[in-house]
Structure formats: structure tokens, C-alpha cells
A and B are shown apart, each in its own frame.
Chain A
């Protein structure tokens, strides 16, 4: 899922200071799971903003709504009648959701309350780790299911750099060296042969952004060849 983190409250206050009527728009999917932008977090943020407005002597109202997702048009429609009542929408979706919201309601200011961090997994309660940088050229079959482009700080595909130190990474001694992990996994799978082959050069063309993907089943007949 996508993991995001709320911006510091001071930043958010600064962003919304000029607007009297603000609608906080939560997102009920990824960012709800990572405790950054779901219904509960929207409630808390709205409350903080109200208190701050009062103590700063600003006359502002903060209303709340949480959509199932902000990356799907059908959910964005659900607030179509309400939006005109507001000076700004403060979205707690990931960066993609914020943009989709801003595109649908392009005559009102749409502001981001979160910093989008990464695609990752839940390591435990309240702790997430990045696992994929969406390179569009997946090599996990070659590396025992551990991503060298994400888990190695340098994204190396040919084995450990000289900075690998007793299983830890030169960039951060708290972080495992991806290539020690890959080596251990491949050894366990009895597939060290995969590590011995010279890796093909990384391909960056597939991940040129903005990327777009159209599922075959949904392409119009006359567009397919």
C-alpha cells in the first residue's frame, strides 16, 4: 500500500490560514491503514485546526468528510454538491488522490495535508517499510524476492558495494544491507547461481513519468492492434 505521513501541524496551519471555510477530505484506503489520513485522522486534524484558529483569533470553520478513495472518480462525485460551500479543500489523501481531487474540483483551492512517503508493508503495529519503487521492470525473480532497487540504498543490481558492513548498509548502520539479505535468501533457496550472473543494465525507460497504463480488456477495440 501507499504510506504517507501527515505534515507538521504548523505547515498545515500556514497553508489553510487564508481560507475561512475549509473542508477536510479524508481517504479511507491506504492512508487510513497507515494512520495518516483516514476518518479518525481527519477528525483529529480538524480538531487541532479549530483549536489553533481559535487561539490565533482566526474565524475559520473546518468540516469533515472521508471518501472511500480519492483515486477513483466515482467516490469524488459524492461531494459534488458540497464543494461550492468551501474556500478550500484540505485533502489527507496521498499525492495522487490530492491531484485527482484538485482535477475534479478545479475552481476551488485543494491543499495537501500529507507527505506521501512510499509503497510499503506493515512491519508491525504503526511501523511501515518501503519495499518497491515501482520501477516497472521487476527483477524479484532474480533476487530471491528481495528488491535490490528499493532495499539497497544505491539500487545496485550486481551484488553488494564495498560499504556493506557486517550485514548492515553504509548509509545507515540500522538498516540491513539488501545484498546480504539477498545472498542469504538465495543461499537458502540453493539458487546462488542467480547472483553469479551479470545483471542486465537497469532500464529506466519503463518508469519514465508520468506513466500510464491501460488494461487490455478495457481498451476500445479499434485502439488495439
Chain B
């Protein structure tokens, strides 16, 4: 059976996805409370896999919790913490638990997180995880062994960074992901039409739905920090100035305006948006309204 995400994308409906981060600790209830109010607005939620290499409740269990609460998860799986046995096993296990949307990523390096001495695995990578999913869907594992019960209806996706510098290697990898079966993409946060156009000119040829990544900018300082430290993020100076000129109290409003303007400009060149609110989930309703969604 197709997921809501898959169905909407196949019908050409514009989709909006968000994020649900598992807790560090067992307080799953709080994480659910944060996303529950957005139930009517967001189609599905990315559930992160030890995001930023910080140890948390697993993406699998948190995804199951979302399902129990009537929400649709996009189960993220990275190559950082598991080898190919564990990754395939986890994908099958997720399937058994009713999870169908799977987002395949390489994952941040373990030295960047809260257990910097941990062994980074990277037996596979985003491309080979996608290969694993495709193979499982076709009834065999990566070793070519036959499965007893085939997860034919997994809906697998991947990510891409339109603002990567240099861009061409990123596009080459994007093409590889399409080639090995990625059915949808979500992007890193984008902040200008020009950046999107440069990327989309190439990417649209793949004929795979792409969800524009939207990050809510909390301040000029945050934008400057991200420009300097976060890969693939390029916030134009004009936006930083606009935020700098804004009083703290008005910043959420301006931040939402900035994001909504961009969504309106790019809307015809993407098949949906993926919102990374970074704790500002409460502004998502306003954002969607102003974006005309």
C-alpha cells in the first residue's frame, strides 16, 4: 500500500513534511507533543537517526511511536553506526513495524557528536543503502540471498544539497541516487532562488519529486554561523541584514516572511517543501499560510 507521501507525490500534490527528533532519554511523549499540533498541516515527519551523531532513541522506535499516534514517519537511516547486516536488518524490522517511507543518508561523522571516540562505521553510504533497499524490495539482500517475505512497497528517498560547493560532484551523486532507486528527495536548506535554479536546471531532468528544504532563520547571527559552519548553506547577505535590523520580538515574523517569500518563488519548481523548524514548530502554521499552502 502506498504511503500518504508516495500517494500525494504520485498525484502531483504539493506536499509538506517536517521533522520529529527522538529524545535523548526516554521522554518520547514530549517529542510527540511537539509535533502533534501540526498533524493536519504536515503530511509526514522525518525521524532522525542519532542526528548530528548525538545518541538518542532510535529512529525505528520513534517512527513506530508516530504511527501509533496516527502520524506518518519518514524513517531516516544512516551509514554511520551500522554495517550492512545491521542496516538491512533494520530496514526489514522497520517494515515489519509498518514503516514504509525510508530516507537513506550517509550520516555525520561520529567525531562531531557527543561520543567522539566511537567507531565510525560507514560500511555502506547513502548510495549503497539505497541499493540495499532496492535489492530488498526485489526480494534479495545485498549478498544475493532470497528473502522470505518481500518488502515490495518501501518508498525510499534521499537527500541532496543544492548549495554545495562545488556543485557538480553533488549533482553526480544525485544522479547516482536516482539510478539506484531514490523515489523522492529532500534538500538541505535553501535561501535563494538563484541557488535553486542552478540546481533544478539539472535535477528536474531526473523526473523524481524534490522537496525544497526550508530552515527558519532565528537571527542574523544564526545565519552567519550557518554560512560559516554548515555545509551547503548560503544565506544571502540581504537576508542577514534584514534579520539584523529586526527587533528580537519581531524576528519570528520576519523569519516566516523570508521563508514564505522563497517558497512562493520556488513553488512551481519543486514538488513540496521539507521544513526544518529547529524548535520553531509553532510558527509552521503561519509559514504555510503565508506561503499559500
The answer to whether B176 touches A159, judged by C-beta atoms less than 8 angstroms apart, is yes
B76 contacts chain A at the CB level, 8 A cutoff: no
A209 part of interface (Cβ distance < 8 Å): no
**149-164 of chain A: CB within 8 A of chain B:** 153-164
Closest approach, in angstroms, between the C-beta of B33 and any C-beta of chain A?
30
CB of B48 closer than 8 Å to a CB of A = no
Q: Is A11 an interface residue (CB 8 A)?
A: no
Interface centre among A167, A195, A198, A202 (most CB of B within 10 A): A198
Chain A residue total in the interface (Cβ 8 A): 28
Residues of A contacting B180 with CB < 8 Å? Answer: 198
Pick the contact of B169: A159, A166, A171, A201 (CB < 8 A).
A159
Contacting residues, chain A, for B108 (C-beta < 8 A) = 163, 170
**Count of interface residues, chain B, beta-carbon cutoff 8 Å:** 37
Chain A residue numbers with a CB within 8 Å of B161 are 162
In the complex, chain A residues whose CB is within 8 Å of the CB of B254: none
Q: A162 vs B131: C-alpha distance in the bound complex, in angstroms?
A: 18
Q: How far is the CA of A221 from the CA of B105 in the complex (A)?
A: 50
Instruction: Check B159 against A159 for contact (C-beta < 8 Å).
Output: no
Taking a contact as CB atoms under 8 Å apart, the answer to whether B111 and A171 are in contact is: yes
Residue of chain A at shortest CB distance from B170: A160
Pairwise interchain contact A162-B232, C-beta atoms closer than 8 A? yes
Q: Which residues of B contact A166 (CB under 8 A)?
A: 165
A62 within 8 Å of B (CB atoms) = no
Within the complex, which residue of B109, B128, B166, B231 is in contact with A158, where a contact is CB–CB below 8 Å? B128
Query: How long is the Cα–Cα vector from A155 to B173 in the complex, in angstroms?
Result: 15
Give the contacting residue for A167; candidates B122, B124, B165, B188; CB below 8 A.
Answer: B165
- Interfacial chain A residues near B84, Cβ < 8 Å: 201
Q: Is the CB of B128 within 8 A of A162?
A: no
In the complex, chain A residues whose CB is within 8 Å of the CB of B106: 154, 156, 161-162
Shortest B96–chain A CB gap in Å is 25
Residues of B within 8 A of A157 (CB): 125
User: Given A154-B125, A163-B108, A204-B123 in contact, is the A179-B231 Cβ separation under 8 Å?
Assistant: no
**Chain A contacts for B126, CB-based, 8 A:** 158, 161
- Expressed in whole angstroms, the Cα–Cα distance for A195 and B127 within the complex equals 13
Nearest-Cβ distance from residue A121 to partner chain B, whole angstroms: 23
Q: Is the pair A201, B172 in contact by a Cβ cutoff of 8 Å?
A: no
Q: How far is the CB of B243 from chain A (nearest CB, A)?
A: 22
| Beta-carbon contact of A180 and B112 below 8 Å | no
Q: Using an 8 Å CB-CB cutoff, how does the interface string of B90-113 with A read, 1 for contact, 0 for none?
A: 000000000000000110110110
CB of B172 within 8 A of CB of A161, answer no
A166 vs B159: C-alpha distance when bound (angstroms) = 18
B200–chain A nearest beta-carbon distance, Å: 18
Taken residue by residue from 78 to 95, chain B's Cβ proximity to chain A (1 for < 8 Å, 0 otherwise) reads as: 011000100000000000
| A215, CB-defined interface residue at 8 Å | no
Find residues 139-198 in chain A having any chain B CB closer than 8 Å to their own CB. Answer: 153-167, 170-171, 179-180, 183, 192, 195-196, 198
Q: Please, which residues of chain A bring their CB within 8 A of the CB of B164?
A: 160, 162, 164
B122 touches A158 (CB 8 A): no
User: Do B169 and A163 touch (CB < 8 A)?
Assistant: no
- A161 and B165 alpha carbons, distance in the complex (Å): 12
B124 and A159 contacting across the interface, CB-CB below 8 Å: no
In-complex Cβ contact of B231 among A155, A164, A192, A202 (8 A) = A164
Chain B residues with a Cβ under 8 A of chain A: 79-80, 84, 105-106, 108-109, 111-112, 120, 122-128, 131, 142, 159, 161, 164-166, 168-170, 172-173, 175-176, 179-180, 188, 230-232
Q: A156-B125, A198-B127, A202-B123 are in contact. List 7 more A-B contacts (CB 8 A).
A: A153-B120, A154-B80, A159-B173, A160-B164, A167-B165, A180-B166, A201-B124
Q: Which 3 A-B pairs have the closest CB atoms?
A: A159-B173, A158-B127, A165-B231
